[in-house]
A and B are shown apart, each in its own frame.
Chain A
Amino acid sequence: MTSAPVPPAPAAVGARPDGSAEPIRELELDGITKRFPGVLACDRVSLKVRRGEALALVGENGAGKSTLMNILAGLYQPDAGRILLNGEEVEFRTPADAYARGIGMVHQNFMLVPNMSVAENVALGLRSLHRGLRLDMKEARRRVLEVSEHHQLAVNPDVHVRQLSVGEQQRVELVKTLCLGARLLILDEPTSALTPQETDDLLERLQRMTEELSIIFISHKLNEVKTLSKRIAILRHGAVVFSGDTASHSTAELATLMIGREVTQARNDGGGAAGEPILTVNGLRVRGDRGHLALDGLDLDVRAGEILGLAGVSGNGQRELADVLAGLRPVEAGTIRFDGEELAGSSPRRIIERGMGYIPEDRHHEGIVPAFSVKENLVLKDFATARFSSGAFLRLSAIDRNATELRERFDIRCASTGAATGALSGGNIQKVILARELARAPKALVAVYPTRGVDVGAAEFIHGQLLALRSQGAGILLVSEELEELVNLSDRIAVIYRGRILGVLPSRDATRERLGLLMAGVTA
């Protein structure tokens, strides 16, 4: 799905946003079935979306949402079932077919060329602007401006995409899809990479857009679903288990339907006494990738047996702090004391050996080796220890046993522990990382956005594990953007802003408002 080509909009449709093509009054999926080897991805799914309506499609990772939407977007063909557009049966053989009928999809990973301007990105998909070797950039700019004005999606057509924040790129994706003539938008987890502010902003815009468009909104986050959608369909194991009005059900009820059992929100009960500081950072100065001071005199301490939440809008130094604590970024000034020892400037190996655990931000590239099997990834830090090797040779039976045990204990869902880890769902990859780190019984753990993009069930599990580790006396630094997660799990919450800690609050005093102000840099 990541390799989906930008679909060229056929000239006949001309991708006019004013709706010169037939409007979508009603789209119906009827008994859609899709089978992959060994998996029934979609099992007789039937859905209906009307004009001016937002339908939320929710379900756990691997419930079949993406497959279903890829069928609707023309990337896959259903094995059975039909798609009805305004009551007429249609067949989408390619993404271009779907676009021609006004169905556009915004993928979770943006499909933009970073080194091109916004207008150029839009022009890529607009075949009608390609005249021989010439490209009508004037017209492309005009369309971008027209669409962005009409839908109040402010974008500058002349800036390069790489210069834009994630939130702005999201807007460019929307404008691009609309310029290509979409009248029904499929949004695949559009908020997964956004900050809370950007999320609120996007939801508001989408809400306005539903006045003239239809939207299918895929999400894990039920509060967002409640805000935006009028109707909801819940998928489990490829089948629709519930569909109805969003307003008449609470988020707790919806979550229960989604994972098939009741969800309990893991909470830090405040019990247990925090001990001595295990990790103390003083006056830390570190440069970011562009050479600026990303951490500028940062002070922080994490005590044994506590969870210290680190709140902040992403890009304020969280990434650099995490890198430094893993030994992957040089320290310009300052000290890092970990369990009575100075760690600034130590190698990753040494820091790992001292008992530091780490759940990195980019789980696909930093957390695991995607091509390695689950069992190989589970020993990524310990393959050379006496437990898993003797002399130069790996002890394969010990590695197997370890994997079987951790798979059970951490509920890692995979066909076999020999399967490639990169093929697992995001939540399961995170469980592999969690299993590896917790099995090492770390004295301190740095967890960076540990539940970003994972489903409710997996998030619940991860939260429970973090709390269990806390009660075993480890110190945890939890970096997150989800205020609810921070407040529920942390003993104290520190707010990072432009490379410094702006304030530390006990979590019972941390209201959304107070944190929000600190995150915006307001101290008074």
Chain B
Amino acid sequence: MSRRFRFLYVGMVSAVAALAATAVASLVLTAIGASPWATYVTIFTGPLADVFTASEILVRAVPLTLVALGIAMSFRSGILNIGAEGQMLVGILASTAVALALPGLPKLLLLPLSLAAGAAAGALWGGIAGVLRARLEVNEILSTVMLNYVAAQLYTFLLRGPMIDPDELMTGSGTPQSMRLPRSAWLDRLVPGTRLHTGLLLALGLAFVVWVLLWRTTLGYRLRAAGAGSKAARYAGVRVERSLVVAMLFAGGFAGLAGAVEVAGVHHRAIEAISSGYGFAGIVVALFGGLHPAGIVPAAAFFGLMLVGADMTQRSAGVPANMVLVLEGVIILAIVSARMYVNNPYAQERAARFLRRIFRSPPVRTAGATDDPETAEETQP
């Protein structure tokens, strides 16, 4: 396959994917009486129009990055963590509880302590699934999904009962939320007038740390070996079961930290629906980013853009945000399928054949062209 052909091929696949996604989405939008063009323009350019909305993209990318980093570590280690949502929730509970219990501590102590509590709680929650898999061979997808339910109920119970803000009870409004965190437990704002907080730097720093951990340390080598070839790893003396538990501790820890950062950086209290589905979107971000920190960071930003775009569309184009989620699903599917096609040599071979037939380029078998398939391809339009 010549480089020129490959270039053409990638371009074509991308174009077809974009076209297909646009066609499906336009159909849906037209059906509800909205303008497809205006909607698209809003989703993809609206958020970049001013500093505030642009900063919101990053605000959303922070928890997505953190969750996805943990997911990448677990997937690379051969254990599929679907429980980031639950791990986030227990992380929020723990960090909020610590911040509220020790309001007198100086910021230098309280903030790290509360973030660490969130990470530790998430790690513990993830660790349960890890131990169950390592010891009893309980399928981790089953256990993490079930633990999500448990965490969600625990969260609701605590926010409506023991952890509810006393003010809410006094005024009688009864909104299920915790007390506001003391200022010494807040992450600082990076850009005045926006909600963008220092959690962004933390997420970027940790992306680098995860890269070092996975590819530059013996622990990372062990985890990746257990994930990519558990049998060979076992023969070589790696304790694969232990690696699974370690991986789940990391995955849960990152999800818990994502929750804690969301509280300390954005909401400053535990509220309902705080996770916004980041725990699940993080899985998509991780896979989309190729389970590699260098891919995860831009993938998280892209997802952040789409989330903010969805909010704006609701307001400016009159398209319900739920409908935008449908569009986003279609776009993601198109991108993922396109990527499969681009990376599949068989598909490429088939496409080359197809083109040859369509354009009736000189049959490669005629004399003269026999030795050089490149020339045959060059003659294609």
Contact = CB atoms under 8 A, between A and B. Distances in A.
- Range for the number of chain A residues in contact with chain B: 35 or more
Contacts of A80: 364-365, 369-371, 373
Nearest to A390: B218
Interface in A355-400: 358, 360, 362, 365-372, 376, 380-381, 383-384, 389, 392-394, 396
A370 B353 contact: no
Contacts of A381: 236-237
A380 B232 contact: yes
A349 interface: yes
A376 B221 contact: yes
Contacts of B221: 376, 383, 394
Given A328-B235, A369-B229, A33 B371 contact: yes
Majority secondary structure of chain B interface residues (helix, strand, loop or mixed): helix
A494 interface: no
Contacts of B236: 348, 352, 380-381
A31 interface: yes
B216 interface: yes
B150 interface: no
A347 interface: yes
B370 A328 contact: no
B233 interface: yes
A79 B356 CA distance: 11
A371 B227 CA distance: 10
Given A370-B229, A396-B216, A358 B235 contact: yes
B217 interface: yes
Contacts of B231: 362, 365-366
Contacts of B229: 365, 368-372
A33 B370 contact: yes
Given A80-B370, A369-B228, A352 B217 contact: no
A349 B219 CA distance: 16
Given A80-B370, A371-B229, A394-B216, A37 B1 contact: yes
A82 interface: yes
A121 interface: no
Interface string A473-495: 00000000000000000000000
Could you say which of B218, B236, B364 has the most chain A C-beta atoms within 10 Å of its C-beta? Answer: B236
Interface in B340-363: 349, 353
Contacts of B321: none
A81 B218 contact: no
13 contacts: A33-B373, A80-B370, A93-B353, A347-B237, A351-B237, A352-B237, A365-B232, A366-B235, A369-B225, A372-B229, A376-B221, A392-B218, A394-B221
Interface of B: 1, 216-219, 221-222, 224-225, 228-229, 231-237, 239, 349, 353, 364-365, 369-371, 373, 376
The 3 closest A-B pairs by CB, nearest first: A369-B229, A79-B373, A349-B237
